[in-house]
């Protein structure tokens, strides 16, 4: 399953957030989407997951035209979006938040959801030690793990992650990125990783997309982007 974005333009009223973007996300890859504040990264993810409508252009997931579907249909197609800002239900416990992630599957296969929850506890032991703790009492990093874990419960084929490293200590960031890389290998899922933390993201990615004011200025091998100092200086600022 390859994600194909063709001539995608997205507006917020008079503001053009994404301008005529074209790129492919190959199956089983980790693709890092990087760019400055306001470059259009979150808008891109929100549009892929159906939360925002494109102005023009196509988003294809094999034969499915995602730009015509509702969010619910997109989730059922195996595409899960973990938005910016550690979004968990703060009044609920860790276990309850994870159970919510299984809502789309539980009607058909409850045992599978339980197995997926057990896997998340294995992946993030800190969550396993805090099953009954309310989400609003978790640390920032734990909350981010919970948001990612909840996304994983539905066993996505395409995982859209919006700045999982935001506000986290460097060590926790590295831990989460390593976990993502291992998870990608073991499940074969495709990951679209939006990050300000460009180098950490590119290190686990196979390809990178650089957005500059809504334009795709680079879509290349992650290693090539990391090794090109002129390009890094021009678009990533160092």
Q: Which residues bind ligand ATP (CB under 6 A)?
A: 12-13, 15, 17, 35, 37-43, 196
Q: In what order do the strands lie in the sheet with 215-221?
A: 79-82, 158-162, 190-195, 30-34, 207-212, 215-221
Contact between 176 and 165 under an 8 Å Cβ cutoff? The reply is yes
Tokens in use for 19? Answer: 């301008």
Pairing of strands 190-195, 30-34: parallel
Question: Least distance (Å) from Mg ion to the CB of residue 201?
Answer: 13
Nearer to Mg ion, 42 or 207 (CB): 42
Three-class DSSP labels, 146-197: HHHHHHHHCCCCEEEEECCCCCCCHHHHHHHHHHHHHHHHHHCCEEEEEECC
Nearer to ligand ATP, 53 or 110 (CB): 53
Nearer to ligand ATP, 35 or 151 (CB): 35
Which of ligand ATP, Mg ion, none binds 144 (CB below 5-8 Å, type-dependent)?
none
Supply φ then ψ for residue 117, to 5 degrees.
Answer: -65, -40
Nearer to Mg ion, 41 or 52 (CB): 41
DSSP 137: G
Question: Least distance (Å) from ligand ATP to the CB of residue 67?
Answer: 17
Question: Least distance (Å) from ligand ATP to the CB of residue 86?
Answer: 14
Question: Least distance (Å) from ligand ATP to the CB of residue 63?
Answer: 28
Which of ligand ATP, Mg ion, none binds 2 (CB below 5-8 Å, type-dependent)?
none
Angle of CA points 7, 8, 9, to nearest 5°: 115
By CB atoms closer than 10 A (0-12, 13-18, 19+), residue 18 is: buried
Question: Least distance (Å) from Mg ion to the CB of residue 41?
Answer: 5
Nearer to ligand ATP, 39 or 172 (CB): 39
Which of Mg ion, ligand ATP, none binds 37 (CB below 5-8 Å, type-dependent)?
ligand ATP
Which of ligand ATP, Mg ion, none binds 224 (CB below 5-8 Å, type-dependent)?
none
Nearer to Mg ion, 42 or 144 (CB): 42
By CB atoms closer than 10 A (0-12, 13-18, 19+), residue 211 is: buried
Q: Name the closest residue to Mg ion (Cβ).
A: 42
Q: Which residues bind Mg ion (CB under 5 A)?
A: 41-42
Which of Mg ion, ligand ATP, none binds 40 (CB below 5-8 Å, type-dependent)?
ligand ATP
Question: Least distance (Å) from ligand ATP to the CB of residue 146?
Answer: 20
């Amino acid at each position: 399953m390859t994600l194909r974005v063709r001539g995608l333009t997205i507006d917020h009223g008079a503001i053009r957030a994404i301008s005529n973007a074209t790129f492919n996300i190959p199956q089983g890859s980790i693709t890092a989407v990087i760019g400055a504040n306001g470059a259009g990264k979150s808008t891109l993810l929100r549009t892929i997951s159906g939360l925002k409508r494109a102005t023009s252009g196509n988003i294809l997931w094999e034969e499915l035209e995602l730009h015509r579907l509702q969010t619910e249909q997109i989730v059922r197609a195996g595409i899960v979006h973990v938005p910016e800002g550690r979004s968990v239900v703060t009044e609920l416990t860790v276990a309850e938040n994870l159970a919510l992630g299984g809502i789309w599957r539980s009607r058909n296969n409850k045992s599978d959801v339980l197995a997926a929850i057990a896997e998340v506890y294995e992946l993030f032991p800190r969550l396993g030690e805090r099953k009954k703790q309310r989400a609003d009492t978790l640390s920032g990093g734990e909350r981010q793990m919970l948001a990612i874990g909840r996304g994983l419960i539905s066993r996505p084929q395409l995982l859209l992650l919006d700045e999982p490293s935001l506000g986290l200590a460097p060590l926790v960031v590295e831990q989460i990125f390593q976990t993502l890389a291992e998870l990608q290998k073991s499940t074969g899922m495709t990951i679209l990783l939006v990050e300000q933390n460009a180098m950490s993201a590119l290190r686990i990615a196979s390809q990178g997309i650089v957005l500059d004011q809504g334009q795709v200025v680079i879509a290349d091998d992650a290693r090539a982007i990391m090794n090109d100092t002129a390009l890094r200086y021009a678009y990533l600022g160092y």
